[in-house]
Each structure stands twice: as C-alpha cells, then as structure tokens.
C-alpha cells in the first residue's frame, strides 16, 4: 500500500496548522493556566471560530488550486452559459466574498468567458454558492434567531457568534427570502397516517398585527388617514384604532376520542363532590398550523382543508371544525366543504358560549356571588346536554318575568341571540358522547405563539413582506419541520441558481 501524500496537505493547510499551534501554545502556557473557566471559554470562542474560518478558507483554496491544475492539464470540460453559448476563454483567479458562520472568507475560482457574454463559474455550482454574499449556514442562523425574537436581538446574537458579517436590513431580507418555499414544501409533504377511529379536527381563528400605514389593507388605511385628520390628543387604554391587519390562522390535528359528560366540563351548581374525578378531554396530536397576513381567509381555510384531505383522502374519519362564531368563517367553511364533498360537524367554541352565558348571569345576579355561579353552571350544563334552544327561551322568559332594566336586558338578549343564531353549531351532546373537542384551545394557542409572542412585541410595527415571512416561518418551526424544510429550501435554491 503506497504511503499517504502529506507534503501538499501541510502546504495547503499551513495557515490552519499555524493557527492551531498558536492556540495550543497559548493554552499550554503560563498565562492560560491562571485563567478562569469563563476566560478560557471567551478565548476559545474567538480563537476557535477564527481557526474554523481558516480551515474553511484553506479547503476552498485547495479546491481552487485543483481547478487551476485541471485547467493547465487541458482536461477542463466545455462550459456553456444559461443561454447555451460556449465560453471558450478561461481565466483563473476570480474571487468573491462569502460571509459564513465562522466569518468572512474569499472563494477563488476559474471564470469561463466569451466575447460579449457574462462569466460562468462552474465552481459556484459545485459548491452551490448563493447569489448573494451570505452562506446557507448564516441564512439558517438568521432565520432561527429572527423568528425567535426581534430583529435587533437576532442581529446582536449573530454578531456575538459570527462577528460582523451581517447587517440588520440584510437580515430582514434573508428572512423574507427564506420563506419563499413554504407553500411548495407543504404541498409535497405526506402527513402521518391515522386510523379511521381518530377524529380529524380543523380550527380557524384570526388575530390582528400592528402594521405600518402602507402595509394596511386599503379600507383600514383610509380609516386611519381619516382618524388622523381628526387630531385626537389621546387614545383610550388599550385602543389601537385602524393600526392592525388581520391574520388568518388555521390548525389541523388528530385526536384520540375522549368521551365525557356535561359535568366533566362544567362543575355542578354547588361544586363537585369529589367522589368522581372529571374525565380529561381529548388531546391534540400531529398538530399542523398555517397562518398568513397576505393570503385571503378563503385561501388559508383551503390550505387547512388540503392538509386534512391529505390525512384522510377518502373521508373515512369524522371531521370536526371548530370556530369562534364569526359568520364569514362559517360561510367560507360551508363553501369549502361543499366544494370538496365532505361532511363535517361544525362546532362553536364553548369558551365563547360560556362568556355570553356569564355576561347574562351577571344581569340577574351580582358578579362573584354563588347565585351567579350556580345560574351560569346550570344553563351551561343544559347547553352541553343539547338544550341550547330551551336555554335561550328560559333566559328570555326570566328576563321578562323579572322586568330587567335596559342594559342588563340587552346582555341577556345578546346571549339568546348568539345561541339561537348558532344552533347548528351547538351539538355539544353529540361531541361529548363521541369524545370530540369542543373548544378552540389549539388555534388560540397557535395565535398566541405565532403572532402575540413575536409579531405583537412592544413597539413592533411591521411591513407586509417581513411580517408574512416571520409568520410563515414561525408556523414551520411550530410544526417541527424547520430542519426538513431547510434542506428542501436549499435544494430549491440550488435549482434556481
């Protein structure tokens, strides 16, 4: 067996070996022996990153030397450009900067040229170099930091780890560019299969995001301009008129049936006896979220139904759709189910029903009293048992019997109007017997995680491209798909380049 050729390796990586020897000399010297572990960490973080940068630089220089050797040996292949024309001239020594997670490096390669034609660099394709200066690893780090916290914090975190390799504006642009393949990725992703006994749940909700004026929808922008002309000196606490653009959030998940009775959800008037513990409700598994500020609610709901249909293409499982009672959402869901020919059980979020019932309870009894609690518990239990219409009639009759004043009477009327207007979505008796969820906790949590925890941080006002990109990427992270998505995104970027 012939011996390894080590002389060229030492020559090519001489600077890396020198940096490594300098680092080991420092650590083995008397100065480092007096350092604390914190000082050792700080020194290794800086010098170790520079050593890794030098190793990467030396490796790329080695590839450049091999490419030039092939050119001198006359074994270089014929290179054509994107328009199909041959580049007959070859010129070595063309360099470009590349910002990486280890710092700035310079990539040198051979340019293939032709008269009146743009240069072609085969080494760029072999290395899959980006069109801009920033490497795939740096882009991945930018996405991970930017979707976690503010752009200022992300810029600082990248600077501490990688050095001064990325500006804040360019960071925002990289995040926007990283989200371009989310739709394509999920169209080709195969969900985890489930048995037909497991219900398939779709939940839809909306949440506003504070935007810059130019990013508002046109009616909201005109209303904001009109309000600004009124010269109001002060807003009411928590008031943000005409500053938000609504994002539509949808959530799809599977669940194991968990049958319950009304008293498992609402304790009986007077409290629980403790003899029988409340049965737990169904838990969401294989949860998938999507959200958008740019796409219409129709498109987001269609995406959610696409995901559901990918999980149950033959419509063999029970489909449950939970909403907060917004009429336009119910109309869009009805249109989508009719278009797909699928039967769904639409349910109203029980938490919204409970809020109306408690408001009505306070029209008859003082807040915080046992009478108000017993009144609300009794009526909510009846609603859960499938008697929503009878409950609404009983509320109305009691209000007339007690001759409530106008304001309390309006609270009772609003509750009754809400119940009678959504009787088709109040079949909680069927839902509890079959073990289905009756509340929109999953999508409410998605709204809080995707939007409130990032897009609604103090002082944030968003442009549309940046807000949409962060929202879509946070959904990818929440779905646990960031690593898989990033590999797919890199492949598509390579194809585009």
Query: Does an H or E element contain 113, and which?
Result: strand 103-114
The tokens describing 259, both together, are: 């049958």
Per-residue pLDDT of the chain (497 residues; tens, 9 = 90+): 454 444 455 578 999 999 999 999 999 999 999 999 999 999 999 999 999 999 999 999 999 999 988 888 877 678 888 888 998 898 999 999 999 999 999 999 999 999 989 899 999 999 999 988 999 999 999 999 999 999 999 999 999 999 889 999 999 999 999 999 999 999 988 888 888 899 999 999 999 999 998 888 888 878 777 776 655 556 565 556 778 999 999 999 999 999 999 989 988 766 666 677 888 999 999 999 999 999 999 999 999 999 999 999 999 999 999 998 888 889 999 999 999 999 999 999 999 999 999 999 999 999 989 899 999 999 999 999 999 999 999 999 999 999 999 999 999 999 999 999 999 999 999 999 999 999 999 999 999 999 999 999 888 899 999 999 999 999 999 999 999 999 999 999 999 88
Delimit the domains of the chain by residue range. Answer: 7-128, 195-230+238-449
For residues 497 and 130, the answer to whether their CB atoms sit within 8 Å is yes
Whole-angstrom distance, CA of residue 460 vs CA of residue 244? 11
Chain Cα centroid distance, residue 61: 39
Whole-angstrom distance, CA of residue 147 vs CA of residue 153? 11
CB atoms under 10 Å from CB of 88, counted, come to 12
pTM metric for this prediction: 0.86
Q: Residue 91 to residues 110, 119, 237, 401, 481: CA-CA distances in angstroms?
A: 6, 10, 67, 96, 43
Whole-angstrom distance, CA of residue 450 vs CA of residue 428? 29
What is the DSSP track for 348-386? E-HHHHHHHHHHHHHHHS-TTSHHHHHHHHHHHHHHHTT
Whole-angstrom distance, CA of residue 491 vs CA of residue 465? 23
Nearest to 147 by CA among 453, 484, 445: 453
* Cα three-residue angle 24-25-31, rounded to 5 degrees: 110
The DSSP letter of residue 404 is -
The tokens describing 401, both together, are: 């019997």
Cα(first)–Cα(last) distance of the chain, in Å?
42
Whole-angstrom distance, CA of residue 333 vs CA of residue 201? 13
* Cα three-residue angle 168-460-243, rounded to 5 degrees: 135
Whole-angstrom distance, CA of residue 112 vs CA of residue 98? 20
Q: Which residue has the tokens 């989310």?
A: 182
Whole-angstrom distance, CA of residue 105 vs CA of residue 113? 24
Whole-angstrom distance, CA of residue 172 vs CA of residue 182? 17
């Amino acid at each position: 067996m012939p011996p390894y050729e080590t002389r060229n390796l030492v020559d090519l990586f001489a600077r890396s070996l020198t940096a490594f020897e300098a680092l080991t000399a420092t650590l083995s010297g008397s100065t480092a022996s007096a350092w604390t572990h914190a000082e050792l960490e700080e020194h290794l973080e800086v010098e170790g990153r520079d050593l890794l940068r030098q190793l990467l630089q030396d490796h790329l220089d080695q590839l450049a030397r091999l490419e030039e050797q092939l050119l001198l040996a006359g074994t270089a292949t014929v290179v054509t450009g994107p328009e199909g024309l041959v580049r007959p001239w070859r010129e070595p020594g063309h360099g470009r900067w590349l910002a990486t997670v280890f710092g700035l490096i310079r990539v040198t390669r051979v340019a293939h040229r032709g008269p009146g034609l743009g240069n072609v660099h085969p080494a760029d394709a072999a290395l899959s170099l980006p069109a801009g200066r920033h490497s795939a690893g740096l882009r991945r780090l930018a996405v991970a930091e930017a979707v976690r916290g503010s752009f200022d914090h992300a810029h600082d975190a990248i600077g501490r780890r990688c050095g001064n390799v990325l500006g804040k504006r360019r960071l925002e642009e990289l995040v926007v560019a990283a989200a371009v393949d989310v739709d394509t990725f999920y169209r080709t992703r195969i969900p985890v299969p489930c048995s037909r006994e497991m219900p398939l749940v779709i939940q839809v909700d909306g949440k506003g995001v504070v935007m810059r004026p130019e990013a508002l929808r046109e009616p909201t922008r005109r209303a904001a301009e009109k309000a600004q002309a009124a010269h109001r000196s002060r807003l009411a606490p928590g008031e943000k008129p005409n500053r938000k653009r609504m994002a539509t959030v949808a959530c799809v998940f599977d669940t194991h049936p968990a049958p319950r009775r009304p008293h498992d959800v609402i304790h009986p008037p007077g409290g629980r006896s403790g003899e029988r513990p409340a049965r737990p409700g169904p838990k969401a598994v294989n949860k998938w979220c999507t959200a958008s500020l740019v796409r219409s609610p129709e498109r987001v709901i269609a995406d959610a139904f696409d995901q559901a249909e990918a999980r149950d293409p033959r419509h063999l499982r029970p489909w449950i759709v939970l909403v907060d009672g917004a009429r336009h959402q119910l109309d869009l869901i009805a249109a989508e189910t009719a278009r797909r020919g699928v039967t769904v059980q639409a349910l109203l979020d029980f938490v919204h029903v409970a809020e109306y019932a408690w408001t009505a309870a306070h029209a008859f009894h003082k807040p915080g009293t046992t009478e108000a609690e017993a009144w609300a518990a009794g009526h909510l239990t009846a609603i859960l048992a499938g008697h929503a219409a009878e409950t609404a009639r009983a509320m109305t009759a009691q209000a007339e019997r007690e001759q409530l004043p106008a304001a309390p009477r309006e609270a009772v009327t609003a509750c009754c109007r809400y119940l009678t207007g959504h009787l088709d979505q109040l079949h909680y008796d069927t839902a509890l017997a079959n073990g289905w969820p009756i509340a929109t906790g999953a999508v409410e949590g998605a709204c809080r995680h995707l939007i409130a925890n990032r897009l609604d941080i103090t002082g944030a006002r968003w442009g549309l491209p940046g807000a949409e990109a962060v929202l879509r990427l946070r959904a990818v992270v929440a779905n646990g798909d960031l690593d898989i998505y990033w590999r797919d995104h890199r492949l598509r970027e390579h194809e585009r380049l």
